[in-house]
Amino acid sequence: MTENISHAASSGIGQVITRFGADFLIETEAGERLRCTARRKLDHLACSDHVQWERQAQGNAAVTAMLPRRNVLERPDFRGKLRPIAANIDLLIVVASWQPAPVWETLDRYLIAANRLHADVLLVMNKMDLRQTHATAEAEACLAEYVRIGCPILHVAADQQQGIGDILSAIQRRTAIVVGQSGVGKSSIAAQLLPDTDIRVGTISDTGEGRHTTTSATLYRLPAGGALIDSPGVRDFGLTGLDFATLESGFPEFRPFLGGCRFNNCTHNHEPGCAIKAAVNAGQLPPKRFARYLSLLSTV
């Protein structure tokens, strides 16, 4: 009966590769690509979701159900409404560069998001070729704090094919997503990892805006196994609905000190006897990250 599992199957299970407006590109278990329309109640489907699909007598096939997902990365759209970007993520590759300069608070927000997703995180500093000319002392000090807290970091230059193999090794056949500001080189990295795939790369204009900017998250299968999701860049990655517990656990360097505050509901802000604050003052915790923690705290 295995012959029946062929391109002619009329329904089955598949995975969302990307989205075009209201339609989705699905890869079936047989490896066929199908353009599908989704029922309205499935508007929250995202790249990398597993779904049930069904051919229709007329027109596009239809996505009829979403299978359970392990996690989903969401971001607010231009109206501030939370939108799912991609699901079932094992590794969040947070890409930053020296031009455009890193926005450290965005990085912190992605670290919090990774923790919330139970995904691993890899910080990739791209455009290594611009480090000497563009890195400020302040930026180097901020970066050093991530080294200090044990965040895995790779320095690469996608345009010069430097360090790309290290990214591939870090993915280890898992599902990884590249995220970060527009123009940092996410698509350039994806293009280097997938030399046989046509991935459009932006050209930086005077405004720093990419002209071939990525508009929709897309999943690519890596030749050695695993998958890479290229995602559109964001100027500001807000974590809407951030609650205190999520924020606190998104700062893993706090963990060794957490039991030591005088109040067990300490927010590590103004409270007396705060072990986190004491550790910052004693040089045991990185101060710039702590300052950004306080500014994020004011948003919860």
Sites of contact with ligand GTP (CB under 6 A): 126-127, 129-130, 157-160, 182-188, 201-204, 210, 213-214, 232-233
Which residues in the 2-31 window bind Mg ion by CB under 5 A? none
Q: Which does 73 bind (CB under 5 to 8 A by kind): ligand GTP, Zn ion, Mg ion, none?
A: none
From 37, 35, 44, select the one nearest 63 (Cα to Cα): 37
- The yes or no reply on residue 181 touching Mg ion (CB under 5 A) is no
Neighbours of 252 (CB within 10 A): 14
- Comparing CA positions, the residue from 168, 144, 270 lying closest to residue 222 is 168
279 binds Zn ion (CB under 5 A): no
- Which of these segments, 94-102, 205-213, 218-226, 261-269, binds Zn ion (CB under 5 A)? 261-269
The CB-of-272 to ligand GTP minimum distance in angstroms stands at 44
User: Is 11 within any annotated ligand binding site?
Assistant: no
- Both tokens of 92, joined, read 């969040």
Q: Residue 125, annotated ligand binder?
A: no
Q: How far apart are CA 127 and CA 133, in angstroms?
A: 11
Q: Does 274 bind Zn ion (CB under 5 A)?
A: yes
- Binding partner of residue 252 among ligand GTP, Mg ion, Zn ion, none, CB under 5 to 8 Å per kind? none
Phi/psi at 65 (5° precision): -160, 155
Cross-sheet strand order for the sheet of 227-230: 153-155, 120-126, 91-97, 175-179, 227-230, 218-221
Helices and strands of the chain, counted as H and E runs: 8, 13
Contact set with Mg ion (CB under 5 A): 186-187, 214
Residues that bind Zn ion (CB under 5 A): 261, 266, 268, 274, 276
